[in-house]
Structure 1
Amino acid sequence: MNPVPRGLAAALLALSLSACATLSPAQRDRASEIAAQARSQQLDCTAADACAQPSPLRELGLRARAASTPEQPRHYALILDRGPDAMLARLDLIRGARRSLDLQTYIFDEDDAGKLVLDELLAAARRGVRVRLLLDQLSALRHVDTLAALSGAHVNFEVRLYNPVLQRARISYPQYVLAAACCWRRLNQRMHTKLLLADRQTGIAGGRNYQDDYYDWDDEYNFRDRDVLVAGPVADLMGDDFELFWNDRRSVPVERLGDVGRRLLKQGVPELPKAEFERPQRAARMREDAADTEQVRQRLAAHALEVGAVRYISDTPDKHREDSAAAALASDSLRNLIANSRSEVMLQTPYLVLSKSAQQLFRTLHERPDAPRVIVSTNSLAATDAFIAYALSYKYKRRYLREFGFDIYEYKPFPADAPIDIAATGAQLPDLDLPGLPDSDGADQSVRRDRSRPSRVALQGSGSRGSLPDRSSVLYGQRYRQPLAREYAAIRYARRRSNEPVPLKRAGVRIGMHAKSMVIDERIGVIGTHNFDPRGDHYNTESAVVIDDPAFARALADSIRRDIAPANSWVIARRDKPPVFSGLEYSLAKISEHLPIFDLWPVRYATSYEFVPGPNCPHPLYRNDPGFRACYKPVGDFPEVNLGVKSLTTRMFTAFGAGLAPIL
């Protein structure tokens, strides 16, 4: 035998044995015993209310229940568009909890945002609140020692991981490859559900995980995301759903997993180190804000809308049984809402990769004589955090526009008017000598600036407004480039992981769409976790809050319309037809698109357009409006992207990656 293959075989065998080595039942029981014995029973409070801080958001739940009857439930609903507000709402509920806190999420990182929330949860446990933390295995806390420490932290604090492949809490990349080889279906069955529930009174659901870039705290890349806070009787359904996940056999206490258990058996429960924040002033400021009850009331609770019935739809763990197709409750419910639309569907998703059933739904919808308008807000290549998913979206643009009738808007990486607090990111901001803005070395202090002022992102597009731009400036002129040149460059710009955002022509704090929302006929509003993609249909558990209320739906529609405004998004529309052989080119491109591989036709049906206002173009238009081409200028397939390896890779995945669609 050749020595190289022999060595490779030996390495693979060793990896397999180490990855698959699990604790014996006796070892698991002993590890559980070690964790249980280490848990502190000391309480910082003996009061009946667990010394809870007054919480305006928890009070909304009490008020809603008091006004509800079984026949006419009442609720309060609050859209959380801004990252710092979403964090503030979470801290308010955690500090206001008197009995229980249940947190369920896909990602929980050990960065500033994750550490802050974890600190607050542990403080709640120490004052007498039962805290349960349920995390998906693949995106749970980074370190085995952290999980081992949490397993023995306090008698009121429990952590479980959902669907741990290889019976480990953490798996390395080689172990991931091994898991893909042995357990592909199980590896892809993830818990994408996200919920924070306080005392079964008030809950937060939506797109945000627990990581800096969901709360405007990352100095390179942040998500434009959305949650909804709901207070009232629907919290009971949220609690019941959490119980299903918590008690499912796939949810495993961390101390019973191989790597954590072995850590406990060898060295006992490690001490949980005191949280050290990358930007401690920012964390301290957020804690101060959370302690200011009146600020929480004015900034958040006062803006909650009174609504009637609220539905919480959620895939249960039964979705991951062999007959999983029958348990895709979230997907089925969302499809039914779309199928029954009358005038307009607004859909917001970061990854426009549709399952076959979703494609057929929209195709049928478009063929109706009274077909509703379908508006789609999604990422551009420049904004997305998943360029492979974008490549599949790019492949099917013709289908989306012609066969489904979509009006597609792709989010810009540097939107000029987004609900993002760039000052909160901590990025080094250049001295722009603009009135009313703090100096670049005052990033932490700037978080407390007057919130009635425009966000720093909005200032990117606030350049000279005196003269109307020349239409050619969209491509070449100073008038177009000037606002976008006002970037707040981060110290660290490039990322190394393969599926990170693509390189751009300019540095800056980039924004990517992550919100998953829908509005039907400006009457029904939906905020949840479903990306309207094949993963959501077949693999992930998903959840959504559905509110049938015109005022709430209009507020959500206004939020999405802001995202698709010219300052924040490009419009996707058909290219200008070539002067000759346009029909032949279209037919060849269509044939190439339908091929599962070797989609090599170099010219795509659609491209990106920028709105250029003028005397004859006072307002944005839809792509099929007769005046569209007089008011919009093409800016290329991948505007703002630094053409290079990643753009070539995008075209490669467009050509060869159709088979990846089911798992993207």
Structure 2
Amino acid sequence: MNGRQMATRLAAMLLALATSACATLAPAQADRAAAIAEAARPVAVECSEPDACARPSPLHRLAGDAFVRSTPERPVHHALILDEGTGAMLARINLIRSATTAIDVQTYIYDEDDAGRLVLDELIDAARRGVRVRLLMDQLSAMRSVETLAALSGVHANFELRLYNPTLGRARITYPQYVLAAACCWRRLNQRMHNKLLLVDGAVGITGGRNYQDDYYDWDDEYNFRDRDLLVAGPVVRDMAADFGRFWNNPLSVPPARLVDVGTMLLRDGVPALQPHPFERPERARRMREDADDPALAARLAAQAMEVSEVYYVSDLPGKHTGEDPSSHAAMSRSLRRMIESAQEEVLLQTPYLVLSDAAQQTFRDLHDRPDPPRVIVSTNSLAATDAFIAYALSYKYKRRFLREFGFNIYEYKPFPEDSPVDLAATGAFVPEYIPQDPPRRERGADRTSALNGLRHRQGQAEYGAMRYVGRRANEPVPLRRAGVRIGLHAKSMVVDERIGVVGTHNFDPRGDTWNTEGSVVVVDETFARALADSIRRDISPGNSWVIAPRDKAPVLWGLEYSLAKASEYLPLFDLWPVRYATSYEYVPGEHCPAPLPPDDPGFRDCYRPVGDFPEVNPALKGLPTRLFTAFGAGLAPIL
């Protein structure tokens, strides 16, 4: 085959791909597919009781108490921080079973693994007993198979499913289709719904960082997220429900039956049966179902709730994805910046990805330029803990700016923290004994085939919208020196002056400012703010995080080296200066160092030892790859 024939064949393949990817259902076909799904939905319910056979729930009763005691002048709310993944799952199932009229779920990722399917089965059971269930998922990370989405289109009359902002008019896209969408429709492809809500009876709701996937609930045997949700009960849930309604009723939210791949399947084969899920660990799922019915366990959670009064829900709207300037609709980002600007004593910020937008950088620069600036403490991921290699490389690039120009105290989460709320027993993993030197290539039992060489690729693992297809080094944790169940930070929270607490979905990043829609609960209450601050301070304790601080100054020409590094940092490309301003430090307790110190304390260097730029990371990954992304990746910041 000569070059011209090869070029002709390649052009024909690309044309065929473009033609198939851009195919749409005619309006009449979409109507017929939707009608097939509608006709297949059973209407019979399994319960004739007025409350749809709802089960009693101490968590649901928090809402009843809040509404009974609330007045327009003084609303009453109950707020419960859900730090533990297993507790967050138990709360969800317990609340779903307590629903009497309505359940609304909004999420970015919904996987077909054990955690996702367990919750899905509970939602379907609720629909069958008479509860209206609406499930809204961002299309880019919605389920794994067209068959599942087609089955859910006709599963029950009380169960409705919609996908937000479908790419190429499809429910699922292949990698080549993704490349095509990136080429033709980059702006729309990046406009994702990152909001996360579970609302029950319009009275109690959960929001925060967790999606529906094993690694958000301590159920993955290799990598789990240290995440945080907030359960809130009371009048503010009405605002959350109204916000969900705006997304649900927006033209960007489309029933799968009206999309090309699902609609074509329905027209050809009708509605398939929803196949039983082969649980990877069925005994674990069975125990969770039983625990969710245990009144004592739910009561234990409910007892931890705090009574608060001033609570707000702030959210971007689907309108953020219209117009020439999406950032002008970024209500969530503006609200966060106003709260930061109000700080007098301290801003405690937790984000998995320390990549700041220009507006956020200016906010922190202005804060630091005050005559008596507040302390800014940042909890974020280390390279060893993160699931987003490129994002970390860019945060590494700007460490000098963060420390000197913004005055940040930065703490980077360890991949194997000593005191994490992640339930390692729930993962079901084999945890090898730590040997403090380079381990052999294989170090696991039957459930783990390559602990050292990285993790299997899982759909939607990184919350990076358009970046999730780029490849392993973009959205999977890097190989480490040793094996074990790794933990990465995923919580998105903020405390201002220990009087305002924020828990939500915003990563304080450019994507959240410009591309994603985001939502958060804001609680103005000192008791709540202190509890949230304590949770974050646990994450930055010496056993759980390394401290980022300036390196020791070079004995000669330090000023010249600093100036050259600073100049290189400001280059959008070719930032090749080999030495960075800061590195990681480990606390060394002793007689003269009885307690941890902040990095700006005069005695810091007497109590901390440097452990290098990328502690715990496999030596092969320590140098060139991270520095290459540091040098050439600055242009990616707006979509990270």
TM-score range, shorter chain: over 0.9
Aligned pair 1:551/2:527, yes or no? yes
Contact 1:488 1:509 in 2 (8 A): no
Please, which of 59, 62, 77 is the counterpart of residue 60 of structure 1?
Answer: 62
- Structure 2 distance, partners of 1:386, 1:586, is 28
Residue 314 of structure 2 aligns to a residue whose secondary structure is: strand
Residue 2 of structure 1 aligns to a residue whose secondary structure is: helix
How many residues were matched structurally?
A: 613
Residue 264 of structure 2 aligns to a residue whose secondary structure is: helix
Residue 5 of structure 1 aligns to a residue whose secondary structure is: helix
Question: What pairs with 1:264-343 in structure 2 (closer than 5 Å)?
Answer: 264-298=266-300, 300-322=301-323, 323-343=325-345
- Structure 2 distance, partners of 1:619, 1:261, is 62
Residue 498 of structure 1 aligns to a residue whose secondary structure is: helix
C-alpha displacement at 1:498, in angstroms? Answer: 3.1
- State the TM-score, normalizing by the size of structure 2: 0.94
Question: Which runs of structure 1 show a deviation greater than 6 angstroms over 4 or more consecutive aligned residues?
Answer: 487-490
Please, which of 590, 603, 615 is the counterpart of residue 639 of structure 1?
Answer: 615
Which residue identity lines up with residue 602 of structure 2 in the other structure?
P
Are the structure 2 counterparts of residues 573 and 122 from structure 1 closer, same or farther at C-alpha, using a change threshold of 3 Å? same
C-alpha displacement at 1:55, in angstroms? Answer: 1.2
Which residue identity lines up with residue 627 of structure 1 in the other structure?
G
Residue in 2 that maps onto 1:427: 429
Aligned pair 1:414/2:428, yes or no? no
- Structure 2 distance, partners of 1:9, 1:349, is 44
- State the TM-score, normalizing by the size of structure 1: 0.91
Contact 1:525 1:546 in 2 (8 A): yes
Aligned pair 1:563/2:539, yes or no? yes
Which residue identity lines up with residue 525 of structure 2 in the other structure?
D
C-alpha displacement at 1:324, in angstroms? Answer: 2.1
- Structure 2 distance, partners of 1:93, 1:151, is 24
Question: What pairs with 1:478-497 in structure 2 (closer than 5 Å)?
Answer: 491-492=448-449, 493=451, 494-495=454-455, 497=472
Once the two structures are superposed, what CA deviation does each residue of 1:100-129 show, in whole Å capped at 9, x if it has no partner? 000000000000000000000000000000
Contact 1:119 1:275 in 2 (8 A): no
Which residue identity lines up with residue 530 of structure 1 in the other structure?
H
Residue in 2 that maps onto 1:21: 23
Gaps of 5+ in 2: 457-471
Contact 2:431 2:484 in 1 (8 A): no
Residue in 1 that maps onto 2:380: 378
Residue in 1 that maps onto 2:502: 526
Residue in 2 that maps onto 1:435: none
Question: What pairs with 1:45-444 in structure 2 (closer than 5 Å)?
Answer: 45-298=47-300, 300-322=301-323, 323-429=325-431
Which residue identity lines up with residue 562 of structure 2 in the other structure?
Y
- Structure 1 distance, partners of 2:374, 2:263, is 55
Which residue identity lines up with residue 140 of structure 2 in the other structure?
L
Of 220-229 and 495-504, more deviation after overlay is shown by 495-504
Residue 401 of structure 1 aligns to a residue whose secondary structure is: helix
C-alpha displacement at 1:325, in angstroms? Answer: 2.4
Once the two structures are superposed, what CA deviation does each residue of 1:387-423 show, in whole Å capped at 9, x if it has no partner? 1000000000000000000000000000001101000
- Structure 2 distance, partners of 1:292, 1:392, is 46
Residue 546 of structure 2 aligns to a residue whose secondary structure is: strand
Residue in 2 that maps onto 1:9: 11
Residue 17 of structure 1 aligns to a residue whose secondary structure is: helix
Contact 1:503 1:646 in 2 (8 A): no
Residue in 2 that maps onto 1:498: 473
C-alpha displacement at 1:275, in angstroms? Answer: 2.4
C-alpha displacement at 1:650, in angstroms? Answer: 1.3
C-alpha displacement at 1:429, in angstroms? Answer: 3.8
Contact 1:345 1:518 in 2 (8 A): yes
Contact 2:378 2:408 in 1 (8 A): yes
- Structure 2 distance, partners of 1:380, 1:325, is 29
Once the two structures are superposed, what CA deviation does each residue of 1:547-591 show, in whole Å capped at 9, x if it has no partner? 000000000000000000000000000000010000000000000
C-alpha displacement at 1:645, in angstroms? Answer: 4.5
Once the two structures are superposed, what CA deviation does each residue of 1:601-625 show, in whole Å capped at 9, x if it has no partner? 0000000000000000000001111
- Structure 2 distance, partners of 1:379, 1:68, is 40
- Structure 1 distance, partners of 2:390, 2:431, is 31
- Structure 2 distance, partners of 1:155, 1:646, is 54
Which residue identity lines up with residue 152 of structure 1 in the other structure?
G
Residue 364 of structure 1 aligns to a residue whose secondary structure is: helix
Of 620-629 and 322-331, more deviation after overlay is shown by 322-331
- Structure 2 distance, partners of 1:550, 1:174, is 51
Once the two structures are superposed, what CA deviation does each residue of 1:203-247 show, in whole Å capped at 9, x if it has no partner? 000000000000000000000000000000001000000000000
Residue in 1 that maps onto 2:465: none
- Structure 1 distance, partners of 2:186, 2:414, is 35
Are the structure 2 counterparts of residues 488 and 197 from structure 1 closer, same or farther at C-alpha, using a change threshold of 3 Å? farther
Contact 2:478 2:621 in 1 (8 A): no
Contact 2:133 2:158 in 1 (8 A): yes
- Structure 2 distance, partners of 1:505, 1:325, is 41
Once the two structures are superposed, what CA deviation does each residue of 1:450-482 show, in whole Å capped at 9, x if it has no partner? xxxxxxxxxx9xxxxxxxxxxxxxxxxx9x889
- Structure 2 distance, partners of 1:275, 1:61, is 33
Once the two structures are superposed, what CA deviation does each residue of 1:317-370 show, in whole Å capped at 9, x if it has no partner? 011111422210000000000001000000000000000000000000000012
Of 497-506 and 333-342, more deviation after overlay is shown by 497-506
Question: What pairs with 1:606-617 in structure 2 (closer than 5 Å)?
Answer: 606-617=582-593
- Structure 1 distance, partners of 2:586, 2:605, is 10
Aligned pair 1:588/2:590, yes or no? no
Residue in 1 that maps onto 2:463: none
- Structure 1 distance, partners of 2:207, 2:181, is 30
- Structure 1 distance, partners of 2:587, 2:430, is 31
Which residue identity lines up with residue 455 of structure 2 in the other structure?
R
Residue 331 of structure 1 aligns to a residue whose secondary structure is: helix
Contact 1:345 1:374 in 2 (8 A): yes
Which residue identity lines up with residue 107 of structure 1 in the other structure?
I
Residue 644 of structure 1 aligns to a residue whose secondary structure is: helix
Measured on the aligned residues, the alpha-carbon RMSD in Å equals 1.4
Residue 378 of structure 1 aligns to a residue whose secondary structure is: strand
Which residue identity lines up with residue 183 of structure 1 in the other structure?
C
- Structure 1 distance, partners of 2:185, 2:614, is 37
